[in-house]
Structure 1
Amino acid sequence: MTGFQEPPFKKVKNENGFSSDVSNDGQQCFKSNNGYIMKNNIQNGGPYSKQCAGTIGLEKSGATQNAGHMKKILKQRHSLPIFPARQKLLEELKKNDCVIVIGETGSGKTTQIPQYIHEERWDRKGTICITQPRRVAALSIAKRVAEEMNTNLGALVGYSVRFEESVSSATKLKYVTDGMLLREAISDPLLSKYSWIILDEAHERTVSTDVLFGIVKAAQSNRNCPDKDPLKVIIMSATMDVDHFSNYFNNAPVLYLEGRQHPIEMFYAKQKQDDYVLSTMSTVFQIHKESPAQHDILVFLTGQEEIDSVAHSIRQVAKDLSLAEFPKLRVHPLYAALPSHQQLDVFRETAPGERKVIISTNIAETSITIPGIKYVVDSGRVKIRSFNPSSGFDVLKVKKISQAQAWQRTGRAGREAAGYCYRGYTQEEFRAMALNPVPEILRSNLASVILQLLAVGVKNILNFDFIDKPSPDSVREAVEQLSVIGAIIASSDNLELTPAGRRMAQFPLEPRYAKAILCGPEHGCTDEVLTIVAVLASETIFVNPSGKKELAIRARQKFHSVEGDHITMLKIFRAFKSSKENKMWCHENFLNYRNLSYAVEVRRQLVQICQRCNIPVLSCQQNLEPVRRCLTAGLFTSVAELQIDGKYLTLSSKQECSIHPASVLFGGKPAYVLFTDLVHTGKAYMHINSIVDADWLYEVAPEYFRTRHIKKVCSAVGS
């Protein structure tokens, strides 16, 4: 294996990251912070090691299951670690209004606890709502639970994710993304249709999850009176800062569900690795030479380009004649922007005499489970986006993971059988890691959050009961953004939504995109703006296969517009519709069929919201200048000006930046560029750009471009 040196590892046997209690007879316990609740033999395994496999590209659940199949499912449910603790768990849930449940991955808490509550008929006065941070998890788990309960998806068990819903009046178990529950709270702050709310995967700490903590806590308090039905709350995770959460939720009891995992052998690097990518690759080949065929490997790296590069390198090295005696390697990348048929490849069974190597982002930490994984190789790195309120930058950086993330990754190796985890960092480096990742709300643009809080009825943002309060600077920056687009006004010491702001809050979009849609009728191009916003709401529509990127770029040149990337996207969408949404047409033009189809559905939903808000959907046909004018009305704070030295400076914060090489405007020097995102990856790049006219800027926001500062609004949230 030329060019690689195998990193030395030291072994730590059967280490795990959970507070497991094991009695002398090998039994394990279910306990609370008040003492042991139950001790019972817990069987190995369980059916849910495969429950998320194939979750991308889901099919609807069948209506009826035969008796033999249902008997098998019941047996699987009873084999789960959670089952022996069922009765004691229910006793704790009954006597407490709020409970925190910590359970190892695969214990069955997400699928079983809602069913236990339903079986006790504790949902007679309302629905059980279970939140998930990611749509793929909400969809896949709802499908699995519907199968276990022998019902159609959308009947007794349903789901609601952004731009997609399957529920009915009969739905009692509803799996939703946290963002969708937050949107429901806008029209119903008491969340009165629910009798139980289960906040699952709480450790992921998305922005929506953190806001939901405060909303649900307030709703529960406000419903704690004789004339209202009480609300029960369960917070669940595999790992979290339990003291922090318990204190926040009024000293809620913490229940530990401890099932026996398959043993996992740990290997740490003996010394710090200077090049984590090279170390990861050499570890893969070290495993490849020592383990039998069909023992598959899951590798954690940081991003699409890195993963594609490593996948290509591993394939090339695997062709070396010195490796001919070892199993054949099948290398599969896995990241969110990958076309669905390639994502599904990771779930296919490994053929005899072969080995599957999946190279993934952190999407494989919790959202999906890949069957057959025997080995995990953890680089110890993740790519994190952080918003800098002073510069307006989204900084995309590779950083070290937290200990909680490390344990999540380790657990991927022990889902079906005994496994192995190779950590590309030393034990000392592991101990120096943060215990938990930085919550997203502390590193994000808060404009959408504040708009939603105001829509729910929160007047004083700084006094909102956040579990971790964002910085005043982040709040002030977001308030200024909302003010300049006309979404809010300052009133004494509080903030209030304008009529336009209330309409913006109806859209599950960033406020600036909602503003552009509201300006559509004025410019006669609502139809076109809806299309562009729908495409931006999906993952990338472009496919750039490794080794074929130049071919892909040439194939798409016929869609390029000199006006910029937004009009290029519009032309692609129109051509896709003209092809009658043909999958082969997408393949020939290196376009992502799944994401374009998703954009079609998103657009349909946005049109419905426009109709509900009485916004006329007008079209400008082939005269597309009004489209760029309309986008400017929403995104005028995201414009850069060409300088004499050939560089660009953002008008809002005077940050130096460049047009991204993937943009159709790359290589040109338009005087003013409107950008969708400003991302710092080594240098600052403007992503998804359009040419705009300076006169348009002063037409849509004359005061903003004269003063660049909104003093009145900033004083409403503190100096």
Structure 2
Amino acid sequence: MAAPVGPVKFWRPGTEGPGVSISEERQSLAENSATTIVYNPYAALSIEQQRQKLPVFKLRNHILYLVENYQTVVIVGETGCGKSTQIPQYLAEAGWTAEGRVVGVTQPRRVAAVTVAGRVAEERGAVLGHEVGYCIRFDDCTDPLATRIKFLTDGMLVREMMVDPLLTKYSAIMLDEAHERTLYTDIAIGLLKKIQKKRGDLRLIVASATLDAEKFRDFFNQNDTSDPTRDTCVILTVEGRTFPVDIFYLQSPVPDYIKSTVETVMKIHQTEGDGDVLAFLTGQEEVETVASMLIEQARALSRTGMKRHLRVLPMYAGLPSFEQMKVFERVSRSVRKVIVATNVAETSITISGIVYVIDCGFVKLRAYNPRTAIECLVVVPVSQASANQRAGRGGRSRSGKCYRLYTEEAFDKLPQSTVPEMQRSNLAPVILQLKALGIDNVLRFHFMSPPPAQSMVQALELLYALGGLDKDCRLTEPLGMRIAEFPLNPMFAKMLLESGNFGCSQEILSIAAMMQIQNIFVVPSNQKSQAIRVHRKFAVEEGDHLTMLNVYEAFIKHNKNSQWCQEHFLNYKGLVRAVTVREQLKKLLVKFQVPKTSSEGDPDPVLRCIVSGFFANAARFHSTGAYSEVSSVYYPTS
């Protein structure tokens, strides 16, 4: 017998009053199609016909006109309108890649940079890495002589500026998904504004999926007069294929949005017409918990004879790529897909067939406390902009519905937009990059959203303690310059540079590489206890760093075997990437003449070396079971 569905009560603003339940609403909706990076409804058409089906195609000539006549063009378009794949090609076709010039396209996420580059290469009939390529941290798939359209993460663009401060090889740069306002997106924005003052020929396209275009226009517009004809920045909106989405709020708050998510999914499944479901939660653990609960509910329901089945699929950043791809697979009409996701499904991708959206109202964000120098992930209420982005996922292929697991009053109290990473992150890597670019007075750098002064001061103190800055806050030589050259957090870089002195450079290389990889340990929801038991074989009391070292060394000992990884519940692709990262870091140690040494199994030198870079994270353990910061943290010799 199916488990009873709880009494989650929603109402739609504009109706006679609260109390309209899901089952009392429209039962069926017309079907249509959507476009996604992976699922392509126009696959039967020629490449050129597919391109012409995208909403952005109608504005091709207008976009090229604006790029020709304005230094900066802000393009507002919903996910799926074609701006990411088509605009770089329009520029190439219009001559912006002639005479060896390059069109650069930044993405905030590595996966997006690789995926979009692959799609554009396919559309142009090119081999990926030749005319069209990508460059992400530890992976450069470009040809310096042949690549004309280059996709890269915003962080890699900033690193390119260290070698070529004016980005002389680029004729145009497109900042895609700029609304996400990541740390390095904001740095790139500030640096590109400086570059444009010296390079009037450089064109910048800022692509955003939200209506905060005025902020970008005001920041980049270099017209100091009241004459609008002298504006250097303009806004263009691309109308996408969107359909109306009915919004439903809870009548009263619920104490457990995990349980309410499951109840709402099952209510939709039992009472609503065709259409897949997308439920937003805050993190991997919540996603897997809800997915497991839904699978149990679906099994119970199928035993009652219900003909329509549920296919429950998780979606989060650390999920292996082959598992992520399942959300794009088409299913038969007798199956309803339920995708349980983090905010990775909020923008960047469009999943075909989504009609119903469930929004828990929370998100997990990185937050930094400059007083304690601790950076962590915290669960906070979503912004109104994010809530609207989530709701819009249900209107890509046909009219949809969004069920918000909070009241309308709670929505009205949400912040309008998400706080940019620049205002809630550790700024030490940012300041180090700016110093390496020759920007001595970082306090006067033109940030789009200036970070808190306390965060800036704390970052300067940390870099001074690491030896990267001198007492005048200038980059030291050679240590500061070497730390800046590493594509890592400054503390990791310092640890690596000191590893030869501690006699453990081989172990520290492996640890540093492993710490750059997310989700090395795989914990399937149906084999949780078995996976945890196997993982304990690698654990040591000295801590996570040496545990990671054990995993890496065992992987190498077993000849990097994928079957061995599967048996030990380890992320094979992640470990292969760790090997690649280690090789890249090894080249830097050779360049800086760090001796090749090994502690030969002695953990003490390794732990001491880790402390040489991470002394700022020192804490004192109390008998109560709590930790407190060490006040003299920035003076490692004290």
TM-score normalized with structure 2 length: 0.90
Local SS of the residue matching 2:551: helix
For 1:248-275, what per-residue CA distance to the aligned partner results, in whole angstroms no more than 9, with x for missing partners?
1126211112234234333333444443
Shift of 1:363: 0.7
For 1:602-637, what per-residue CA distance to the aligned partner results, in whole angstroms no more than 9, with x for missing partners?
112112222333333333333332222211111112
Task: Give 2:49's match in structure 1, choosing from 70, 75, 89.
Answer: 75
Shift of 1:553: 2.4
Show the counterpart of 1:51: 37
Task: Give 2:181's match in structure 1, choosing from 190, 205, 224.
Answer: 205
Mapping 1:249-268, distance limit 5 Å: 249-250=220-221, 252-268=233-249
Show the counterpart of 1:443: 424
Shift of 1:558: 2.6
Distance, in Å, in 2 between the alignment partners of 1:88 and 1:46 is 26
RMSD: 2.4
Mapping 1:610-629, distance limit 5 Å: 610-629=589-608
CA gap 1:317/1:614 in 2 versus in 1, 3 angstroms: same
1:195 paired to 2:167: no
Show the counterpart of 1:462: 443
CA gap 1:242/1:646 in 2 versus in 1, 3 angstroms: closer
Show the counterpart of 2:279: 299
Task: Give 2:84's match in structure 1, choosing from 94, 104, 110.
Answer: 110
1:516 touches 1:630 (CA, 8 Å); kept in 2? Answer: yes
Shift of 1:50: 2.1
Decide which structure has greater strand share: 1
Show the counterpart of 2:217: 246
Shift of 1:395: 4.3
| 416-425 or 138-147, larger mean C-alpha shift | 416-425
1:384 touches 1:398 (CA, 8 Å); kept in 2? Answer: yes
CA gap 1:341/1:244 in 2 versus in 1, 3 angstroms: closer
1:96 paired to 2:70: yes
Local SS of the residue matching 2:536: helix
Distance, in Å, in 2 between the alignment partners of 1:629 and 1:261 is 57
AA aligned to 1:499 is: P
1:382 touches 1:400 (CA, 8 Å); kept in 2? Answer: yes
Task: Give 2:102's match in structure 1, choosing from 90, 104, 127.
Answer: 127
1:300 touches 1:377 (CA, 8 Å); kept in 2? Answer: yes
For 1:535-557, what per-residue CA distance to the aligned partner results, in whole angstroms no more than 9, with x for missing partners?
10010211122253332222133
| 143-152 or 637-646, larger mean C-alpha shift | 637-646
CA gap 1:368/1:52 in 2 versus in 1, 3 angstroms: farther
Shift of 1:146: 0.7
Distance, in Å, in 2 between the alignment partners of 1:337 and 1:3 is 33
Distance, in Å, in 2 between the alignment partners of 1:53 and 1:521 is 49
AA aligned to 2:539 is: H
Task: Give 1:416's match in structure 2, choosing from 390, 397, 402.
Answer: 397
Shift of 1:98: 1.1
Local SS of the residue matching 2:612: helix
Distance, in Å, in 2 between the alignment partners of 1:451 and 1:629 is 24
2:96 touches 2:103 (CA, 8 Å); kept in 1? Answer: no
Task: Give 2:205's match in structure 1, choosing from 207, 231, 234.
Answer: 234
Local SS of the residue matching 1:256: strand
For 1:422-444, what per-residue CA distance to the aligned partner results, in whole angstroms no more than 9, with x for missing partners?
22233333333222100011000
Aligned residue pairs, count: 607
Local SS of the residue matching 2:355: strand
Local SS of the residue matching 1:236: strand
Distance, in Å, in 2 between the alignment partners of 1:46 and 1:110 is 19
CA gap 1:385/1:501 in 2 versus in 1, 3 angstroms: same
| 324-333 or 513-522, larger mean C-alpha shift | 324-333
Mapping 1:696-715, distance limit 5 Å: 703-704=635-636, 706=638
AA aligned to 1:140 is: T
1:174 paired to 2:150: yes
Mapping 1:165-564, distance limit 5 Å: 165-168=140-143, 169-224=145-200, 230-250=201-221, 252-292=233-273, 295-321=275-301, 324-491=305-472, 494-564=473-543
Local SS of the residue matching 1:279: helix
Local SS of the residue matching 1:234: strand
2:33 touches 2:398 (CA, 8 Å); kept in 1? Answer: no
CA gap 1:46/1:461 in 2 versus in 1, 3 angstroms: farther
AA aligned to 1:218 is: K
| 331-340 or 133-142, larger mean C-alpha shift | 331-340
Task: Give 1:85's match in structure 2, choosing from 50, 59, 64.
Answer: 59
Local SS of the residue matching 2:485: coil
Distance, in Å, in 2 between the alignment partners of 1:358 and 1:45 is 19
1:151 paired to 2:126: yes
Local SS of the residue matching 2:46: helix
Distance, in Å, in 1 between the alignment partners of 2:494 and 2:575 is 23
Distance, in Å, in 1 between the alignment partners of 2:532 and 2:255 is 35
Shift of 1:89: 1.8
Distance, in Å, in 2 between the alignment partners of 1:355 and 1:69 is 23
Show the counterpart of 2:10: 9
CA gap 1:441/1:143 in 2 versus in 1, 3 angstroms: same
For 1:328-352, what per-residue CA distance to the aligned partner results, in whole angstroms no more than 9, with x for missing partners?
2222222122233332332332245
Bigger relative contact order, structure 1 or 2 (CA pairs below 8 A, ≥6 apart): 2
Structure 2: gaps spanning 5 or more residues:
15-30, 222-230
Task: Give 2:116's match in structure 1, choosing from 119, 137, 141.
Answer: 141
Shift of 1:142: 0.5
Shift of 1:247: 1.3
Distance, in Å, in 1 between the alignment partners of 2:32 and 2:207 is 21
Distance, in Å, in 2 between the alignment partners of 1:646 and 1:82 is 58
Distance, in Å, in 1 between the alignment partners of 2:79 and 2:149 is 21
Structure 1: gaps spanning 5 or more residues:
14-43, 55-67, 225-229, 655-700, 707-719
Distance, in Å, in 2 between the alignment partners of 1:180 and 1:45 is 38
CA gap 1:460/1:451 in 2 versus in 1, 3 angstroms: same
TM-score normalized with structure 1 length: 0.80
